[in-house]
Amino acid sequence: MPDATERLHAESLANPQRFWAKAADDIEWVRRPRAAWNDTDPHRVSWFPGAMVNTCYNAVDLHIVAGRGDQKALVHDSPVTGTQRAFTYTELRDEVARLAGALTRLGVEAGDRVVIYMPMVPEAVFGMLACARIGAIHSVVFGGFAANELAQRIQHARPKVVLSASCGIEPGRIVAYKPMLDEAIAQVSEKPEHCLVLQREQARAELTPGRDLDWNDTVSDAKPVGCTAVQAKDPLYILYTSGTTGVPKGVVRDNGGHAVALKWSLRNVYGVAPGDVFWAASDIGWVVGHSYIVYAPLLLGCTTILYEGKPVGTPDAGAFFRVIQEHGVDVLFTAPTALRAVKQQDPEATLPEQYDTTTLRTLFLAGERADPDTVAWCERALGVPVIDHWWQTETGWPIAANCMGIEPLPVKHGSPTKPVPGYDVRILGDDGGELPPGETGHVVIKLPLPPGCLRTLWENDAGFEQAYLERFPGYYQTSDAGHLDEDGYLWIMARTDDIINVAGHRLSTGAMEEVIAGHPDVAECAVTGVADALKGQVPLGFVVLNAGVSRALDEIAREVVARVREEIGPVAAFKQALVVPRLPKTRSGKVLRGTMRKIADAEPYRTPATIDDPAILDEIRDALIDAGYACKPADPARSET
């Protein structure tokens, strides 16, 4: 007998028009859609054709009309400034409407672009919603990105206005944003007409006369404006993905499909109800922040937490538990790497005992592979279901998950469970043929993609086709590798380029990482393939130890090698594990395995713009040199985007 999720999944694929038309009833439309989709282009289905909608109205005003204006909508918790602020739905509406009025006065109209380059402050959320209110297209750039990366995005999006702040705040340092913004604007040919700058007391910025405007002065006397209806297919935002070169890769999200999919997902995937407190411990510069800090919780009428801090160091590894206690968090969503950082400082899970986390029902993990050892630590620490799930910037909401709002399934550590309704996930071989259960191949999604997913790249239809649709006609290529097991559970083992070929054997680095992470002294790890004259490639492990481990490092390394050989076999040719102080990661928590491989193989590499701390690459390079690798320094003149 199929489970409820499986039945719903089958319905969504058998008749997607009916399935999503029903979900669309949960959205307040200015003009209802004529149909669920227009499939004249099988590659890029247009969801809810003919419909008119306003995302901001659905996320803010609608709840006031429903009599819930006094409910908390947004809570800003900032341990780096020692402050907290809360806004009801009525207060949020008033802030957003005034800012929307200020943007309108600056000439911003429906279809114009607005770049948002800000730290994790409420005004950044106001900016996103204000753009949605007047039909403008926002493009959030992670606060603190270097000038050349910001310049690329400004050049490509051509914003009429930039919303920014004088500074961001990191543990122990102030990051001045305005000089980087000035430098970025100096580099672009089409310059924004105005920059609206939020002055923070930690570091005030010098404003450029005629172009820059003080945020508070400009917004305080602005006339509030109402919501502008836009077509369902009109863009809500552009979000540039990391890892691109050449032409920036700007994922385009529409208004109609996005609202339907996100509201449906929060109810059905995350098991959240209106009035719940939902916390996505991420950043608004990433897709998680767009989808699950801002839009989904507000569309459903929840209280959302905006956290300006770190999992450790603000002030300690108990920060997450403190936030859960103080704000009564019902559901938490974060990256495994954040909790690995906590686990590294508190391997015995004693910190959670100091806080009351009884409101928490569920912990969701995504962004990096959730290794079974970290999942088990989280289960022990919090005593709630820990749900690994998988999705991408391009999809905007989960592809595979244990749907807590439908019918929770048994957990298999290491698997994000089954495909979510709406997604037809297949596993293909290099020749495009479908592979049997248990065999690792390319994870793809049979077209059409469900609502809320990207329809194209900003001003780059050809690039969209080439990047996602060309390799396997009729399918969206995720660029992830994995398999489906006999029970229909999906296993994401690595990015496609992290599948290494050892003497003709295709091996998953993710499978090796799972084994290594099970070592009791290991906090986190990464495996990458490095060049080998005999075998083509061999795996190389990088290991970070738990705090307080004092055993000999070479002994631990030998044990790690032995574990891999015992559990995967000699075919893995896993012979070396390096103990390093930390792993290089992007600010969203993804480990930079490709960059580590280039360093080990003495290939030219650049410091990625998204890296959390560039100094970590020097530590990795030193460890590799000590191990006998002929590493080269990074190209100091350029950085990857």
As annotated, the residues of the chain forming the CATH 3.40.50.12780 domain(s) are 4-309+389-482
Q: What is the pLDDT of residues 350-364, one digit of tens each?
A: 999 999 999 999 999
Q: Which two tokens stand for residue 353?
A: 């005992």
Q: What is the 3-state secondary structure (H, E, C) of 317-343?
A: CCHHHHHHHHHCCCEEEECHHHHHHHH
Asked whether the beta carbons of 261 and 396 are under 8 A apart, the reply is yes
38 bridge partner residues: 46
Q: What is the pLDDT of residues 454-481, one digit of tens each?
A: 989 999 999 999 999 999 999 999 989 8
Say how far apart CA 549 and CA 631 lie, in whole Å: 28
Indicate the SS3 state at residue 219: helix
Say how far apart CA 294 and CA 315 lie, in whole Å: 25
As annotated, the residues of the chain forming the CATH 3.30.300.30 domain(s) are 503-640
Query: How large is the average pLDDT for residues 110-134?
Result: 98
Q: How confident is the model at residue 505 (pLDDT cuts 50, 70, 90)?
A: low
What is the per-residue pLDDT for 47? 94
Asked whether the beta carbons of 187 and 200 are under 8 A apart, the reply is no
Q: How confident is the model at residue 324 (pLDDT cuts 50, 70, 90)?
A: very high
Query: How large is the average pLDDT for residues 500-511?
Result: 70
pTM for this prediction: 0.86
Q: Which two tokens stand for residue 130?
A: 């204000």
Largest CA-CA distance found in the chain, in angstroms, rounded: 71
CA quadruple 342, 345, 346, 351: dihedral sign: negative
Q: What is the pLDDT of residues 30-71, one digit of tens each?
A: 999 988 887 777 667 789 999 999 999 999 999 999 999 999
Asked whether residue 243 carries a pLDDT value surpassing 50, the answer given is no
CA quadruple 247, 44, 157, 127: dihedral sign: negative
Query: How far does CA 525 lie from the centroid of its chain?
Result: 20
What is the per-residue pLDDT for 637? 46
Average pLDDT along the chain: 92
First to last CA, the chain: 48
CA quadruple 469, 470, 475, 479: dihedral sign: negative
Asked whether residue 429 carries a pLDDT value surpassing 70, the answer given is yes
Asked whether the beta carbons of 508 and 527 are under 8 A apart, the reply is no
Say how far apart CA 436 and CA 116 lie, in whole Å: 45
Indicate the SS3 state at residue 628: coil
Indicate the SS3 state at residue 308: coil
Say how far apart CA 363 and CA 131 lie, in whole Å: 31
CATH architecture of 503-640: 2-Layer Sandwich (3.30)
Phi-psi region of 589 (alpha: psi -120 to 50; beta: other; left: phi over 0): left
What is the per-residue pLDDT for 3? 81
Q: What angle do CA 21, 25, 27 make, to 5 degrees?
A: 115
Q: Which two tokens stand for residue 505?
A: 């054997």
CATH homologous superfamily of domain 4-309+389-482?
ANL, N-terminal domain (3.40.50.12780)
The residue assigned the tokens 């590894």 is 317
Fill in the DSSP letter of residue 38.
E
Per-residue exposure over 595-631, b if at least 16 CB sit within 10 Å of its own CB, e if not: bbbbbbbeeebbbbbbbbeeebbeebbebbeeeebeb
φ/ψ of residue 238, rounded to 5: -115, 130
- Full DSSP string of 372-405: HHHHHHHHHHH-S-EEE-B--TTTSS-SEE--TT
What is the per-residue pLDDT for 245? 43
Strands 137-140 and 113-117: parallel
Q: What is the pLDDT of residues 578-603, one digit of tens each?
A: 999 999 988 777 888 889 999 999 88
Q: Which two tokens stand for residue 119?
A: 């730290």
Asked whether the beta carbons of 485 and 524 are under 8 A apart, the reply is no
Say how far apart CA 495 and CA 510 lie, in whole Å: 9
Say how far apart CA 441 and CA 444 lie, in whole Å: 9
In the chain, % of residues over pLDDT 90: 76
φ/ψ of residue 377, rounded to 5: -60, -45
